[in-house]
Amino acid sequence: MLKKSLFLLLAFFAILPAWAQEETDDEYEDDEIELNDSLVVDSTSYDEIQMDNFLEDFLHEVGYYFDTANVPAMNSYDGWDMKKIHPYEQKLDSITDSTLLILVEGEDCFFHPPTVGNITSGFGVRRWGRRLKFHYGTDLKLTTGDPVYAVFDGVVRIAQYSKSYGYVVVVRHYNGLETIYAHFSKLLVVPGMSIRAGEPIGLGGSTGRSTGPHLHFEMRYKGVAFNPEKVIDFNTMSLRSDSLYIDKGLYDHIKEVKRINSAQYYKVRGGDTLGHIARRYGTSVRAIQRLNGMKSTRIRAGQMIRVR
């Protein structure tokens, strides 16, 4: 009884626009071009701030409630954060062990595809103007309003608005995996809700940093993203295996992420030559040419070139 009324109250407050939160996820999502401002709610008004605080307190209490009852894979995680999309400290170098996760087992524990559309952009390096960025998910085509489904059973950890992800849902599954579903036009769940595989969690859209309707889908274990295509065959919309080894092989993209993150750029000034710039950054003209795909040594003022 208490549980039910808590849920109703929670559902009521969670759908309020005040739910739109401060944002720190830019580095994780890069479906950019333009920010869709029409859905960004101004949460600075007095009433909304009051409501936010209330909601925070309330979630805090509900969090305690879930601590003992519903939170999946509590032994693999430090906590259960219903506000931050990425609350985990990522220690990439410490991934040495191999953990076997059971994905599906019998009829009670099954997989459901998140949507039926083709891949429009895969997990991996993506060129953004002159810069390289890492795309941490798989983009799947859909039409605004199409239902998107939870891929496994679990509990909703996040259902909120984010500047980069738009309306986004994060589900923690019982084996410890987390899945992220972004750019919804509408949320159909609230944090703390238990859901089954195949239940609709939102309607597809193009909110946040997105250029058109699609689902941005991520799979993460303890906060570290890996390629969903290693788990799901999106052509047949089925699992590649009933289980998944969490080991170094799953994270073989991390070297590339580090390379991109260490990239450094320089804005050319009048009078600069490639030779000067190379010397300043302790590199060679040839290395800069290679990084930028340049055939000649010609540069012009204002041009951004990658030096590392």
Using CB under 5 A, which residues numbered 242 to 301 contact Zn ion?
none
Give the residue among 192, 196, 195 at the shortest CA–CA distance from 65.
192
Residue closest to Zn ion (Cβ): 216
295-301 contacts, C-beta under 8 A, 24 or more apart: 297/273, 299/268, 299/272, 299/273, 299/274, 300/268, 301/268, 301/269, 301/270, 301/272
**Binding flags for Zn ion, 85-114, as an x/- string (CB under 5 A):** ------------------------------
- Between 19 and 136, whose beta carbon lies closer to Zn ion? 136
- Between 121 and 289, whose beta carbon lies closer to Zn ion? 121
Cα 70 from Cα 89, distance rounded (Å): 23
Largest CA distance in the chain: 75
Cα 16 from Cα 127, distance rounded (Å): 36
- Between 139 and 146, whose beta carbon lies closer to Zn ion? 139
Binding range to Zn ion, per CB under 5 A, among 20-28, 132-140, 154-162, 171-179: 132-140
Cα 284 from Cα 295, distance rounded (Å): 14
For Zn ion, which residue of 25, 139, 146, 178 counts as binding (CB under 5 A)?
Answer: 139
Binding of Zn ion by 137 (CB under 5 A): yes
Give, in degrees to the nearest 5, the angle at Cα 163 between 128 and 74.
105
Q: Which two tokens stand for residue 289?
A: 């040419």
Pairing of strands 200-203, 194-195: unpaired
Smallest gap, in angstroms, from Cβ of residue 31 to Zn ion? 4
Binding range to Zn ion, per CB under 5 A, among 55-63, 135-143, 184-192, 231-239: 135-143
Q: Which residues lie closer than 8 Å to 86 by C-beta, 6 or more apart?
A: 24, 25, 28, 223
- Between 30 and 48, whose beta carbon lies closer to Zn ion? 30
Binding range to Zn ion, per CB under 5 A, among 31-39, 84-92, 238-246, 264-272: 31-39
For Zn ion, which residue of 18, 19, 25, 31 counts as binding (CB under 5 A)?
Answer: 31
**Binding flags for Zn ion, 205-244, as an x/- string (CB under 5 A):** -----------x----------------------------
Binding range to Zn ion, per CB under 5 A, among 9-17, 62-70, 137-145, 196-204: 137-145
- Between 172 and 216, whose beta carbon lies closer to Zn ion? 216
By CB under 5 A, name the binding residues for Zn ion.
31, 137, 139, 216
